[in-house]
Chain A
Amino acid sequence: MAVISSDERTRHLSPSDDAHVVDLEERALARRQRLDKLGTWLLPLIMIALGLIIWDVIVKVNEIPHYILPGPGRVWATLTADWRLMLDALSITLAITGMALLAAVIGGAGLAILFKLLRVIEMSLYPYAVILQVTPIVAIAPLIFIYVEERLIGLLICAWLVAFFPVLSNTTLGLNSVDHNLRDLFKIYRASRWQRLIHLELPSALPYFLGGLRIAGGLALIGAVVAEYVAGTGGIGSGLAFTILEAGYRLNIPRMFAALILIAATGIVIYALSSFVSWLLLHKWHESAVKREQ
């Protein structure tokens, strides 16, 4: 009897019990998601702070002289003390990187579209695009600086050469990965070549193009920095890379670190920006940018 009654009681209780359990589970899930969100921001910050502290401790405990390894405090001091010089260098590097990226996007995507519209052009020009891509930029750069008088233009060309190929090849891939049934549908509805490009091929290529853009952003910065190393001499229009080079000659290690940090920060900002643009354009419809509930 006792067994039955307890059984009955549990059965009786079970619906509200279930609701309770579901409630708990849901709350736990919500808490986990909140922690997850917090963690994605907090953890990296904590790790970076930890790295800085360890760096500082190592320098202090081992009494490493600042001309060999400056502590983070000293690097920060250099950064703020030389801020005019640093800002000038940063703005030059930023300008070259930005313009090169812009030119890479226009040139790469434009060429990809031209290739798509006119196979003859693709067949004739693609070899050149590949040759330029596979030849290391440091090998081409000295020639460019001989032929191009204007230093800034030379830097721009170098950065552009490195950045443009991923945009070209990704956009080409995208333009060619149109769903074949959609292509047939456009044919049945008698779409013009232009309509097919605008309403079908370009939207299909967008996610691929944005992937290329993200790669190109990083490469444009690399191209700008490497080109400046090759260009060597300073003067007006010296960017962060030349700052490092010059500081190296003078064994001004803290300044080298300061410039290095600015370059890294620039790279991060470019990556964040291009990721944001990607998200902006894709989050409504593309799987890569869709957040799923687990």
Chain B
Amino acid sequence: MPNIPSAVGPILSLRNVGKVFGGTVTALDDMSLDVHDGDFVSLLGPSGCGKSTALRLIAGLMRPTAGRIVWSDTGRTSTGGQDLGVVFQEPTLMPWATVEDNIWLPMRLAKISKSAVRKEIDEILDVVGLSGFENAYPRELSGGMKMRVSIARAMVTHPKLILMDEPFAALDEITRFKLNNDLLEMKARIGCTVIFVTHSVFESVFLSNRVVVMAARPGRVVQELHIDEPYPRREEFRTSPEYAAHCRAASDALHAAIMNTSAEAA
């Protein structure tokens, strides 16, 4: 298969990707998705529809049982190291390390000394709004602050792509809204591409330019919505009629996906 030229083409393509566990559980079936530079793609769907599976496949933590994942600039089939950032549902920090040592981790594992990346660490702390906390330990931080550290760690290497698996699901709504706003700002400052898994219609519409709606059993893509609203999006966007209209559309698509699932399961 010929490589798509990287300048205009997607940075990442999932081509008919499938994942079957143990020969019986189809976690993901025939998923195709092109992710373009600067995209904010949300995967929205009910529990068990294969969102995490898709992310793990993209992160190279598992191999697909069908189809291919192509990184189009090189045509290679996996990425990692400095090109990829990941944020999990839990902050997943090392409790024995300070904030700055947690953020240093990706570079440390690439054998880069802390003094050599001092500037990058300070800069990213500023981006996530945690300047002054570099020497704090994770247990001294609130849930929202821990999540900011986790995001800083994912962004500090200025990766091409950041994968986020329900990063704000465990936070209260006030903190979540604040982090939603801040995440868009951080993304703009870093200039990365994001694939974001969520259960929340409102979150996905607020953040993304594309919402991929998925259904379960078997996990699959049922619809893709384009949220063609300009960035930067600020708090006012949440109360705009456009936002409400997009939310209704996404909500309808999600409901259709859920009905679809339960009808098949019954």
Contact = CB atoms under 8 A, between A and B. Distances in A.
B139 A285 contact: yes
A187 B92 CA distance: 14
A164 to B, nearest CB: 25
B138 interface: yes
A285 B86 contact: no
A181 B109 contact: no
A9 to B, nearest CB: 39
A162 B173 CA distance: 54
Contact of B138 (A181, A200, A206, A285): A285
B138 A189 contact: no
Interface in B50-65: 56, 59-61
A205 to B, nearest CB: 11
Interface residues of A, number: 21
A284 B98 CA distance: 10
A65 to B, nearest CB: 59
Interface string B60-96: 1100000000000000000011001010101010111
A118 interface: no
Contact of B139 (A181, A191, A290): A290
B80 A287 contact: no
A186 interface: yes
Identify the interface centre among B90, B94, B138: most chain A CB within 10 Å of its CB: B94
B243 interface: no
A189 B139 contact: no
A182 interface: yes
Given A181-B92, A199-B108, A189 B81 contact: yes
A204 to B, nearest CB: 8
Interface string A176-217: 000101101111111100010001100100100000000000
Interface in B120-159: 137-139
A191 B94 contact: no
Identify the interface centre among B84, B109, B139: most chain A CB within 10 Å of its CB: B109
Interface string B5-22: 000000000000000000
Interface string A268-288: 000000000000000011110
Contact of B96 (A181, A185, A203): A203
B109 A186 contact: yes
Contact of A285 (B92, B105, B137): B137
A190 B94 CA distance: 17
A203 B204 CA distance: 37
B139 A188 contact: no
Contacts of A290: 139
Contacts of B80: 187-190
Contacts of A182: 92, 94
A82 B30 CA distance: 86
A189 B94 contact: no
A284 B138 CA distance: 10
Contacts of B90: 181
A290 B95 CA distance: 12
A191 B94 CA distance: 15
B1 interface: no
B92 A203 contact: no
B85 to A, nearest CB: 9
Given A182-B94, A287-B139, A189 B105 contact: yes
Contacts of A286: 95-96
A185 B92 contact: yes
Identify the interface centre among B95, B106, B137: most chain A CB within 10 Å of its CB: B95
A158 B106 CA distance: 46
Interface string A39-78: 0000000000000000000000000000000000000000
B152 to A, nearest CB: 14
B266 interface: no
Interface in A142-164: none
B116 interface: no
A189 B92 contact: no
Contacts of B97: 203, 285
A181 B88 contact: yes
Nearest to B84: A188
A285 B105 CA distance: 17
6 contacts: A184-B61, A189-B81, A189-B106, A199-B94, A199-B108, A285-B96
Given A181-B90, A195-B109, 20 more contacts: A181-B88, A184-B56, A184-B61, A185-B88, A185-B92, A187-B80, A188-B59, A188-B80, A188-B84, A188-B86, A189-B106, A189-B109, A189-B110, A190-B110, A200-B94, A203-B94, A285-B95, A285-B96, A285-B97, A285-B138
Q: Which 8 A-B pairs have the closest CB atoms?
A: A181-B92, A203-B96, A189-B109, A181-B88, A191-B109, A285-B137, A285-B96, A190-B81
